[in-house]
Amino acid sequence: MEGKAILEDGSPATILPATATLEPWADAAAATPFTDDRTAQLWLNQYALRPEPQHLAALLRKSAAWAAHPYIRAGFPAYALAAAPAAAPTFAAGLRDADEPTRAMGVVALRWAGLDARALAATLGPEWTTRAEALSIRPDPLALEATAARLDETTARMDLAWAWFMATGRPEPIRAIVDLLRYRDDYSALRTAQATPGRKEAADPLARGVLYATAGWSLASFYATHVLAEDYVRLWREDGSVPAPIREELRTLLSNEAFRPPKQG
């Protein structure tokens, strides 16, 4: 492709030659772009800018080995399929010979995307039908409740928010996580409790401290590895409509000791 154009100001411009290759959908779906965890992560990180929904079934199959929460495994393909519903038949077909837990996650993803999951659901036995039914309604990833009683559910919804962001690049899910930085004053309660074994009081402040730290380290990780996350953080840390304490937290994402990744083991 090449040619000439007239710009808005009337000046001419030359469109430099470029070559585009058209590939049949079935061929593209068969050529999985990732071979290991690293290439899969790179593919995920660029998905919002370069969506390839023909590979969503292959990703769901691969995620079986990640021990990821169901919100993550089903959430990413659900949001991606909602944005590209024409890919649903390829997605379902790519899971027909997968193991039953993976097919169940595929059913959940289709339902969360608002798409027809009946054909894939019909391949499930009673146990996995029940499990899929238990997840039939997609949780709201923006409903992040900062209470001790809901801490586990809220952190899982944060993962769902990240899945939404990675699939679409939308600002709403990452902004919801940014807003958790408003709990920075509760982090001191968490540190005190960590240094005092057996301490039980102030449960909700401890939960808020956990959410503050979790939001910070996840934002720092995405800021360092995802170009859209970096753009949003740069925008919001200078945006006067964002509360000043949150803007201060965004400016120290990479240097704040509270935002170091949690230790494993």
Both tokens of residue 95? 């899971």
Whole-number pLDDT of residue 144? 96
Both tokens of residue 42? 């790179």
Percent helix / strand / coil, the chain, rounded to 5: 65, 5, 35
List the pLDDT tens digit at each of the 265 positions of the chain.
Answer: 678 888 888 888 888 888 877 777 777 777 778 888 889 989 999 999 999 999 999 999 998 888 788 999 999 999 999 999 999 999 999 999 999 999 999 999 999 999 999 999 999 999 999 999 999 999 999 999 999 999 999 999 999 999 999 999 999 999 999 999 999 999 887 777 777 766 555 589 889 999 999 999 999 999 999 999 999 999 999 999 999 999 999 999 999 999 987 665 4
The b/e string for 231-243 (b: 16+ C-beta within 10 A; e otherwise) is ebbeebbeeeebe
Contact 103, 76 (CB under 8 A): no
- Return the residue matching tokens 């859209």: 228
Q: What are the start-end ranges of the E strands in the chain?
A: 3-6, 12-15
Query: What's the whole-model pTM score?
Result: 0.85
- CA distance readout (Å), 139 to 15, 69, 97, 159: 47, 13, 28, 11
Whole-number pLDDT of residue 143? 96
Whole-number pLDDT of residue 265? 46
Instruction: Using DSSP, state whether 87 is helix, strand or coil.
Output: helix
Whole-number pLDDT of residue 64? 85
Q: CA-to-CA distance for 231 and 43, rounded, in angstroms?
A: 19
Whole-number pLDDT of residue 37? 87
Whole-number pLDDT of residue 34? 82
Whole-number pLDDT of residue 138? 95
Closest by CA to 95, choosing from 81, 82, 79, 114, is: 81
